[in-house]
Structure 1
Amino acid sequence: MLLLIDAGNTRVKWALVPSGAREPGELGRWAASGMVEHAQLLQLADAWRGQDIVRVLISNVAGQAMRDALEQVLLRALGMQPVPLEWFCSAATLGGVRNNYRNPTQLGCDRFASAIGAHALFPDQALIVATCGTATTIDAIAADGVFIGGMILPGLGLMASSLAKNTAQLPQVAQDLDIGDPFADNTDAAIVSGCIAAQAGAIERALAAHAQRSGGAVQCILSGGAAALIAPHLPAPHQKVDNLVLIGLHHVAISTARHNTSC
């Protein structure tokens, strides 16, 4: 088994890939997968214990403390079994994507993995990849696989919490409010409406700019925990793809037999 791990700012997602799943059409088809909050990280030892894991590929944007914690969890799960741990990091070229960042290694490894996953799923298409999580990242990928660059803005929860108290749980607030009318008649709904309008507006702006740059149609990909809240307010055609970082890691694993992806 190949174990893929996406350690984000709020949650850790994972997937187990059968050793034989090495075809592009098998991206996202996993033997098992799951997600935990940071506080529940130790639960993963039980989920992974007893699995025939021969390789681990990890994307971590949650810092050194998370890296140390994951190493401890993996030690509990795998014991003394000699399994290589590979810490995925951004590079100049990897997985069919060429990184156009001024300093390629500065690009967040989650954004690079998402770009690789999106390009693998939608080859030969110009793409905008909007990942709506703790932060919202909006990245442009050319049809030939060049990562052009992107935008970073606060996610829905961060936007809301900067405006008023008790709004950090914006997804829960938004699910309970009807924001079909952009001009809200109460403060909670006004905050939700404004934050979603900002998110959707940034995505629309990115789509328009990329279409002008590429001279053709641009496919919009939405991912992340808040994607379902933003999607109904985005008039442009789009597709929602879950676990895009894991899909990118999967593609790297099957496209590079033993490429050194470690930082």
Structure 2
Amino acid sequence: MENAKSPSMLLIDAGNTRVKWAVPASVPEAALTSACAARWLHTGSAERAALAELAQQWAAAAESLNLSRVVISNVAGPGLRDALDALLRQSLGDALRIEWFASQPECAGLRNRYRNPAQLGCDRFAAAIGARALFPAQDLIVATCGTATTVDAVSADGRFLGGMILPGLGTMATSLALTTAQLPQIHEIGALSAPFADNTVDAIVAGCIAAQAGAIERAVATQLALSVKQAGGVAAQVRCVLAGGAGAIVAPYLTLPGAQLEKVDNLVLIGLHTVAMQTD
């Protein structure tokens, strides 16, 4: 007789532009600090406008798995929440246990110091939890470069201190085209060929990249100064954890003296996995 499949969980990061998902592998506890692809049995994504693709992806994954639990971070509003709920039940059955992750005063060893903890975007809180799981007991700056760019500070003793939100790389470029008559729409952002642009398109790209990098560098410098002060003037170390689709574009332009840069894919999903493992 064929052995029953062990229950598996599905993790979903529903953002403003894309919906990303993963099924975590059953790995030893020590391996959970790894950001490598071996963490996941299956991964996938789809544009928000093409959610039907998700049903096909989940159905393919479900053929070899017993998906019984779903943990979701959704920052794209109640409409997407309802659509995902219906799609999940249609694809995987009504018996599915669906959990909607929300920011709270404390979770997975991270204390939320937002003035109103529930107001903190659940993706930001999940990303911070994921970064802390990967790099415990360290001062962190967690920068996620997507539709919006968020840059958040986490202390070595486990406090989410707060952060900043700015338009993402693509959003910045688009806003210039929409609000300025003489500037073109930028359809693709790539590497710069010179430090100072000699044409308008590259000048827009250079300005947007500089704004992203500058915000991250400023946050790192501020966190580093706080760390030194709290250590009584002793030299400190800050780790900058960079995630998001535009992170790879921004990374080469970052100058982070006194800090170490870590590029991590699917940081929100890593955070959701960390929470799920502690609340099973």
Structure 1 residue ranges without an equivalent (≥5) = 258-263
Listed one character per residue, the Cα deviations across residues 165-197 of structure 1 (whole Å, up to 9, x for unaligned) are: 55353xx2x22xx52423211000000000100
What is the CA distance between 1:124 and its match in structure 2?
0.9
Question: Does 2:215 correspond to 1:202?
Answer: yes
Listed one character per residue, the Cα deviations across residues 23-58 of structure 1 (whole Å, up to 9, x for unaligned) are: 252355111011111122112112223341111100
TM-score, normalization: structure 2? 0.85
Higher radius of gyration, 1 or 2: 2
Question: Does 2:53 correspond to 1:43?
Answer: yes
For the Cα contact (< 8 Å) 1:23–1:254, is it kept in 2?
no
Task: Give matches, 1:222-233, under 5 Å.
Answer: 222-233=242-253
Question: Does 2:67 correspond to 1:60?
Answer: no
For the Cα contact (< 8 Å) 2:89–2:96, is it kept in 1?
no
Which of residues 117, 129, 140 is equivalent to 2:153? 140
For the Cα contact (< 8 Å) 1:56–1:84, is it kept in 2?
yes
State the partner residue of 2:40.
Answer: 30
State the partner residue of 1:71.
Answer: 85
What is the CA distance between 1:231 and its match in structure 2?
0.5
Which of residues 2, 5, 14 is equivalent to 2:12? 5
State the partner residue of 1:241.
Answer: 264
Which of residues 185, 194, 200 is equivalent to 1:167? 185
Higher RCO (C-alpha 8 Å, min separation 6): 1
The residue type paired with residue 131 of structure 2 is A
What is the CA distance between 1:83 and its match in structure 2?
1.6
The residue type paired with residue 102 of structure 2 is C
* C-alpha RMSD of the superposition: 1.5
Query: The residue matched to 2:22 in structure 1 has which SS?
Result: strand
Aligned-residue sequence identity (percent) comes to 58
For the Cα contact (< 8 Å) 1:183–1:193, is it kept in 2?
yes
Distance 2:161 2:220 in 1: 13
Which of residues 235, 250, 255 is equivalent to 2:273? 250
Task: Give matches, 1:183-194, under 5 Å.
Answer: 183-194=196-207
Structure 2 residue ranges without an equivalent (≥5) = 1-7, 179-183, 229-235
Distance 2:212 2:167 in 1: 9
What is the CA distance between 1:21 and its match in structure 2?
4.1
Listed one character per residue, the Cα deviations across residues 176-227 of structure 1 (whole Å, up to 9, x for unaligned) are: xx52423211000000000100110111100110111111211011100000
For the Cα contact (< 8 Å) 2:186–2:201, is it kept in 1?
no
What is the CA distance between 1:129 and its match in structure 2?
0.6
State the partner residue of 2:238.
Answer: 218
Question: After the TM superposition, which of the residue ranges 66-75 and 41-50 deviates more from structure 2?
Answer: 41-50
Distance 2:262 2:277 in 1: 24
Distance 2:32 2:52 in 1: 29
Large movers: runs of 4+ above 6 Å:
none
Question: After the TM superposition, which of the residue ranges 39-48 and 121-130 deviates more from structure 2?
Answer: 39-48
The residue type paired with residue 30 of structure 1 is W
The residue type paired with residue 248 of structure 2 is A
What is the CA distance between 1:72 and its match in structure 2?
1.4
Aligned residues: 250
